[in-house]
C-alpha cells in the first residue's frame, strides 16, 4: 500500500507500508474476530 500525503503547497510525502501474513497469523486473527463476535454470519468464519 502506498499512501501519499500532501500538506498545503509545500511538501508531498509518500509512505510505503508492507504487510505479510502467514497461515498461522491469519488463523489467529480469525479466532480473535470470532471470539469478539465480529463476523456477521456463521459462514464468514471457517475454522
Share of the chain above pLDDT 90, in %: 0
Residues 29, 47, 1, 40, CA torsion sign: negative
Query: Which range (4-8, 24-28, 30-34, 37-41) has the least confidence?
Result: 4-8
- Contact by Cβ (8 Å): 2, 14: yes
User: What is the C-alpha radius of gyration for the chain, rounded to an integer number of angstroms?
Assistant: 18
Q: How many domains does the chain have?
A: 1
Cα separation, 28 vs 36, in Å, equals 12
Residue 38 domain boundaries:
21-47
Question: DSSP string of 30-43?
Answer: HHHHHHTT--SSTT
| Local structure of 46: helix, strand or coil | coil
Q: What is the pLDDT of residue 17?
A: 77
pLDDT tens digits, one per residue of 13-28: 777 877 888 889 888 9
In a domain, 40, yes or no: yes
Is residue 11 one of the residues assigned to a domain?
no
Q: 13 lies in a domain?
A: no
pLDDT for position 47: 56
Amino acid at each position: 500500500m502506498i499512501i501519499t500525503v500532501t500538506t498545503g503547497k509545500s511538501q508531498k510525502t509518500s509512505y510505503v507500508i508492507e504487510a505479510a501474513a502467514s497461515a498461522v497469523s491469519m488463523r489467529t486473527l480469525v479466532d480473535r474476530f470470532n471470539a469478539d463476535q465480529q463476523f456477521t454470519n456463521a459462514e464468514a468464519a471457517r475454522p
